[in-house]
Amino acid sequence: MSALTTLDVRAVEPVATAGGVYAWTFLLIAFPALGALVLLLGGRRTDRIGHVVGTLASLASFVVAALLFVDMLGRAAEDRAVNQPLFDWLPAAGLQVSVGLLLDPLSMAFVLLITGVGTLIHVYSIGYMQHDPRRRRFFGYLNLFVAAMLLLVLADDYLVLYVGWEGVGLASYLLIGFWQHKNSAAVAAKKAFVVNRVGDMGMTLAVMAMFAVFGTTAFSGVLGGADQVSEGWLTVIGLLLLLAACGKSAQFPLQSWLLDAMEGPTPVSALIHAATMVTAGVYLIVRSGAIYAGAPLAQTAVVVVGTITLVMGAIIGCAKDDIKRVLAGSTMSQIGYMVLAAGLGPAGYAFAIFHLLTHGFFKANLFLGAGSVMHAMDDEVDMRRYGGLRRYLPLTFLTFAAGYLAIIGVPPFAGFWSKDRIIEAAFADNLLVGTCALLGAGITAFYMTRLMLMTWFSERRWKPDVHAHESPLVMTLPLLALGLLSLVGGAAMLWTAGGIVEWLEPVVGEEEHALPFPVWVLTAATLVVIVAGVALAWMRYGREQVARTAPTRVSFATTAARRDLYGDAVNEVALMRPGQRLTGSLVYADSRGLDRAVNGVAALMGGSSGLLRRVQTGFVRSYALSMLGGTVLVVVALLSVRLS
């Protein structure tokens, strides 16, 4: 457990900020936060400059990140963790939470991804949202997202992380439902938030358990003290964190929101629901490595969840005709790979992050490419209405192809390097898990090829009034940048400056895995499976005509995949319907039972006094009689006492 000890040293005594460039760490968050504030409170006055302010805020953050990165590269590996305490947030007797930022190689990697890809997507959005009257607000939300996401990865305390965690959830909610006048968008936004809240329950409980166990929620205290705590507690916390990760990263069983989240504008899908936010769960698990190190059961659960999701997402991706939903299914699946790797412990953490970064490049690329296509096709998302677009959108096609080759894992594109490592590590851990990961690679190749063929090749099937055209430069430039990253990003990260694994080693540790067979065998097998997937897709969609409407007579498997493997159906039967019945009956019980009981008591009082007042007849003589009766009674009573 040498890796763990390294972690402890790092976690317990982060190098305090002495100044220099690290004093600017807070600026990373401050720029986009300020941007969001200006744009959201500024009102219509900022309409005209909204997109510029938003993009500049993100860019400024990226520049700071780049400076910090350069400085960090120049430091020795063990001096790369820097802590910037900001202020005391929540003092309550035993619980003392202070807000501070922790910049170490792991968060640095995320910061670069978020600000880098984030800025590209900001630029892209300038073109994509050009004709939307609420563009300023869109950029405000994007800035809000970037700020919250940076807080999430920079926090040095689980509770502060939780603030960022919910902040990105809020931004996601706002952006999914950006076109609020569409009912489907509003419903999808709410669904995303509520499902995420289920995950947040896990987060809340995990933080509470941390306080109960460690007496603090700071990374230093929790991660530093994890090796002295019983396995039971660690397992509980680990599983709760997994629940949180499942919500945010759309992992089984909380995956259902991600496909609906595609109702949002496409840049949102690229930034939030592909490149950054949905990977927060992976970050959480990797960051909490010290907890999982002492909780093998929780680790196994992570692997199982990851494996199930990677296969599920891939299967769903095969049956969708909506280009964004195919990509969403693919995102689920790819994050499944990351979660799987994160479940393997120090052996997989670096690979999980590696894949997360390359996925950030190529999936953002693919989504933006899809956005460019939609831009050209009057917001049509049905791939059965595309076809032959490569001649009309050549630039987009080129970048999209780079993303495609990256995601299916063709060397030397980015995805090859990272996915291959995960499959290796999975085989080293467990043969079944490895096989699933391998199978997933094949299915990925199948559905992505299907998407490629239906969109870019085959004959044109558009509506007659659509005029396909290439997107403006402001949209294609980010695409080119991301296309380039999809091509070389993986190799660059693996081979330059010691490589990503060595870079992350001080934070996540390292562990050699032993494969039961030579590495080249596995690489070859992976490539064979990928080729098989591509070939199968070509036979189905390349050789044969693509129907303009989805065939209705399909196998059970296809129906199931079209319906998201019945995720929503299960939710509805297991949760929504009983929930509705429960609330319905409670409302009924409240008004007819409890409230009626209260009113009943009042009515009883009122009724009995109503009866009693009948005595007041208004006839003087009857009053006189009752007086006489009373007197007689008293006299009789007196006499009986006197005489007895």
Partner 1 sequence: MSDFPWLSVLVAVPAVGALLVGLVPRRRGVLAKALGLAVSLLTLGLTIVVALLYRAGEGQFRLTEQYGWVERFGLYWSLGVDGVALALIALTAVVTPVVLVGGWDEAEPTGRSGKGFVFLVLVLEAMTLGAFAATDVLAFYILFEAMLVPMYLLIGSYGGPRRSYAAVKFLLYNLLGGLVMLAAVIGLYVQSATLRPDGGTFLLSELVGLPLSPQAQYWIFAGFMVAFAIKAPLWPFHSWLPDAAGEATPSTAAFLSGVMDKVGTFGMIHLCLPLFPQAARDLAPVIVTLAVVSILYGALVAIGQSDMIRLVAYASISHFGFIVLGIFALTSQGGAGATLYMVNHGLSTVALFLVVGFLVTRRGSRAIADFGGVQRPAPVLAGVLLVVALATLSLPGLATFVSEFLVLVGTFTRYPVAAVFAVLGIVLAAVYMLWMYQRVMTGPVRPTTEGMRDMRGREALALAPLLALLLVLGLYPKPLLDVINEGVAPTLSQVGVADPEPVQPATAEGASG
Partner 2 sequence: MGTTPYLVLSALLFTVGAVGVLLRRNAIVVFMCIELMLNAANLAFVTFARLHGGLDGQVIAFFVMVVAAAEVVVGLAVIVAIFRTRRSASVDDASLLRY
Q: Which residues bind partner 2 (CB under 8 A)?
A: 613-614, 616-621, 624-625, 628
If the CB atoms of residues 161 and 323 are measured against partner 1, the closer one turns out to be 161
The yes or no reply on residue 214 touching partner 1 (CB under 8 A) is yes
Crossing angle of helices 473-495/499-508, nearest 10°?
A: 80
Q: Closest distance between partner 1 and the C-beta of residue 29, in Å?
A: 12
Shortest distance, CB of residue 360 to partner 1, whole angstroms?
Answer: 25
Among the listed residues 1, 5, 12, 573, the single contact to partner 1 using CB under 8 A: 12
The helix (H) or strand (E) run that includes residue 128 is helix 105-128
Q: Given the complex with partner 2, which of 554 and 628 has the nearer CB atom?
A: 628
**394 preceded by cis ω (within 30°)?**
no
Contact predicate 113/355, CB 8 Å? no
* Mask for 557-596, x = binds partner 1 (CB under 8 A): ----------------------x--xxx-xx--x---xx-
Residue among 9, 56, 63, 198 that touches partner 1 (CB under 8 A): 198
Which H/E stretch holds residue 559? helix 556-562
Count of helix runs (H) and strand runs (E) in the chain: 27, 3
Identify residues 143-172 at the interface with partner 1 (CB under 8 A).
156-157, 159, 162-163, 165-167, 170
In angstroms, give the least distance from the CB of 273 to partner 1: 18
CA distance 301 to 413: 31
Burial annotation 572-603 (CB, 10 A radius, 16+ → b, else e): eeeeeeeeeeeeeeeeeeeeeeeeeeeeeeee
98 touches partner 1 by CB under 8 A: yes
Residue 311 interacts with which of partner 2, partner 1, none, CB < 5 to 8 Å by class: none
Q: Given the complex with partner 1, which of 378 and 590 has the nearer CB atom? A: 590
- C-alpha distances in Å from residue 509, one per residue of 4, 76, 257, 290, 530: 7, 16, 33, 10, 31
According to CB under 8 A, which one of 68, 218, 341, 487 is a site residue for partner 1? 218
Angstrom CA distances, 550 to 263, 291, 539, 544, 559, stand at: 20, 47, 17, 14, 11
Angle between the 105-128 and 135-154 helix axes, to the nearest 10 degrees? 170
Q: Which two tokens stand for residue 158?
A: 């689980």
As beta bridge partners, residue 90 has 97
Sheet of 95-103: strands edge to edge? 15-16, 82-92, 95-103
Query: Which CB sits closer to partner 1, 185 or 475?
Result: 185
Among 18, 93, 611, 612, binds partner 1 (CB under 8 A): 93
**For partner 2, the closer CB: 621 or 642:** 621
* Phi and psi based region of residue 145 (left: phi greater than 0; alpha: psi -120 to 50; beta: remaining): alpha
Q: Nearest distance from residue 630's CB to partner 2, in Å?
A: 13
Using the rule CB under 8 A, give the single segment among 20-28, 202-210, 325-333, 433-441 that binds partner 1: 202-210
Q: Which does 185 bind (CB under 5 to 8 A by kind): partner 1, partner 2, none?
A: partner 1
Angle at CA 376, nearest 5°, toward 370 and 377? 85
Q: What are phi and psi of 335, to 5 degrees?
A: -70, -30
Q: Which does 625 bind (CB under 5 to 8 A by kind): partner 1, partner 2, none?
A: partner 2
Please identify which residue in the block is written with the tokens 């949002």.
264
- Smallest distance, Å, CB 634 to partner 2? 15
At its nearest, how many Å lie between partner 1 and the CB of residue 174? Answer: 8
Interface pick for partner 1 out of 108, 185, 327, 405 (rule CB under 8 A): 185
Site mask for partner 1 (CB under 8 A), range 492-531, x = bound: ----------------------------------------
CA distance 508 to 511: 10
Selected range binding partner 1 among 85-93, 375-383, 453-461, 545-553, rule: CB under 8 A: 85-93
- Identify the residue among 27, 56, 66, 89 touching partner 1 (CB under 8 A): 89
Residue 617 Cβ, how far from partner 2 at the closest point, in Å? 5
Q: Which does 34 bind (CB under 5 to 8 A by kind): partner 2, partner 1, none?
A: none
CB of 309 to partner 1, least distance (A): 21
Q: Is the dihedral of CA 513, 517, 520, 525 positive or negative?
A: negative
Residue 343, judged by CB atoms within 10 A of its CB (0-12, 13-18, 19+), counts as buried
Report in angstroms the alpha-carbon separations of 109 from 20, 356, 360, 486, 545: 20, 10, 11, 16, 44
Q: List the x/- string, 334-373, binding to partner 1 by CB under 8 A.
A: ----------------------------------------
> How near is the Cβ of 598 to partner 1 at its closest, in Å?
5
Output the smallest distance, CB 609 to partner 2, in A. Answer: 10
For residues 591 and 617, which CB has a smaller minimum distance to partner 2 in the complex? 617
Stretch that binds partner 1, among 190-198, 358-366, 447-455, 537-545 (CB under 8 A): 190-198
DSSP 471: P
